[in-house]
Chain A
Amino acid sequence: MTGIFLPYLYTGGVHKHGLILELLEDLGGYIIQKVVTGTEVNLIMLIPEKDVHLVKELSDELLGVLLVASLTGVEIAVVSPTLASHHLPHSACDVAEYLRHPGANTNMIGLARGMGRRVSLSMDYERKLINEHDIAVFTFGSFSDCIINKKPKLFEGIEIPIVVTGGPELKTEEVPGADLYVGDIGRVSHRLRRKKETDALDRLNEEVGKVADRIRKQLAKDPLAVLPARVMKEIENQVPDIKRILSPAPITMQLNGLRVKLSYDEYHEKIENLEFDEGVVLSELANVSRSKMKNYILIKIKSKSDVGFAI
């Protein structure tokens, strides 16, 4: 694997932002996502560790801001008990939106029958969908009795790290099955913008960042056969149809794979036969399967020990 890449978020004007893209290409970094809103542009990118100062200098020259985006390349499932007005748009949307600030891609998942105490349950399909992500954030309500005694049954079958948000101040150990609990984000019917609430959201971002770091460390012990960012770049080069996808993140990076928003039936062979300079194709390095989400393509990259080599 070549060098170490650090995740950064550039925010600045659209004017001359192409210079950043060019510089990054010269340095061998990767653009993960580019969002243009009016005259502003947000670039989420991976920069080679030793060249960060070059990008920083250029961004200062363009009067932009370069920030560390700790959740870059992490796909998070924000799971709310249902998609009823009790949970939406606040607080589940606020949580999902806030997690995007440090670079994460979030998907909101409303369970069909997640509400209630005795009656709440999740379906096999929903569990598989959640397991496609890197981290699951469950947004629960205001009662400690529910969070401690009743809701954890929704965690059954979830194999990825579980983060729980709720109203009361609880310790993580008190919530069975959770890897992290963040309080002060319970059920609310107004936008989360008071000091206490935004502080809680900041804490959530910080703690989820730590969870992501733990996964990264775990992965580093047995590295992936290929960097997800490199697969992303190759898909952009070899499957030009991806440029016609209007979704904000046509290729969504995950810590150990990617979600490609193309129809599985039409494109899976092209993706499997993606060629790398080293002379291998993607199907040797990764499992390409049908995603539970909208018939998309899900790529899970195998580890170096599985494949025998890494590129």
Chain B
Amino acid sequence: MGITLEKISKSYDGRAVLKNLNLEINQGEFHVLLGPSGGGKTTTLSVMAGLTEQDSGSVSIGGQDVSNLSPDKRRIGFVFQDHALFPHLTVFDNVAYGLRVRRIKGHEMTRKVENYLSKVSIVKEKGKFPHQLSGGQKQRTALARALVIEPEILLMDEPMSSLDAMTKETVRDELKSIQQEIGVTTVYVTHDHNEAVLLGDRVSVLNNGRVEQIESPSELFHHPKTEFVARFIGIKNILKVSLIEINNHEATVRISSNGPDQSVTIRVKKYPIFGKGKEINLCIHPKKIMLKREDEAVDDNLNRIRGKIVKKTNNGNGFMAIVDIGGTTLYAAIPTNFDCKVYENVWVCFAPDAPHPLCGKKCRAAETKRRCLKE
């Protein structure tokens, strides 16, 4: 079943946490709520579960309005950030808890519990108490406990935030395959954009109580719509540009964030929004920028800007060069075969279709039908 939030608002002590939030999650979808701390992710999840009562708006699960139903009536499973296992019960009894509530006992209960314990690879630990488990085992127990009741919706609140990198990777892969096997609609809260990419079918970026953008991970990461989304997902290359000329397929723009004496013009793909204003923000993914040495030949079809490497950094996924192009800095991924030094002069090259406008508009059309991607 899908879940729909309509015009949800929630305030704590006069501080608005959710502001008219709308969200529609499809049946069977793995949906990630991504955003910074205080953006409203956990409150959104809590409203879905019925643990927090919204000030206004409605929550529907499978088309049925559940706004006034208590959490025990919503047929949801919830995995908490701190696992929230029952400390006085064994792993088996933790997982069996929801079944006992539903008066499922005896052989059927044991079969179901052991089935889910084996799905999350924790059968051997079934007699242990939570304090005897590792972080990963606690996580698996919490997942089995939420899934064994066969919920319509699985809600997960930053469940992997306390796990080490290696365990996180294993549990993440297991989670994704279990979700695909069961097909349960899943809403997953995280502030880690790598997790969002690896897990989500679609990602909603929440900021300041509002959804900034809902997209597939690849589309979100290559075509962020707002400056906030771009910066949050780690794209720091945002160019403020002024339109000079628009042709059939391309536009010529001047980078206005550079000083007046360092004016640089570039050619970019024409987007529908270009007709509406002269000042616009463009973002370029660091992987779409190529660095060339000063004496290297550059393809005429590419934009070419002279720059100086001011810093080299490692963002965890590889080395980045920070290049000053005359008042504006750009991040560029450094290929493994490109050996460059700090303060070296280079050409910053990118194709006209590499920059993407931060239009700030919600896309109503499906990704395959969008004019901005087709033209």
User: Is this pair of chains taken from one and the same complex?
Assistant: no
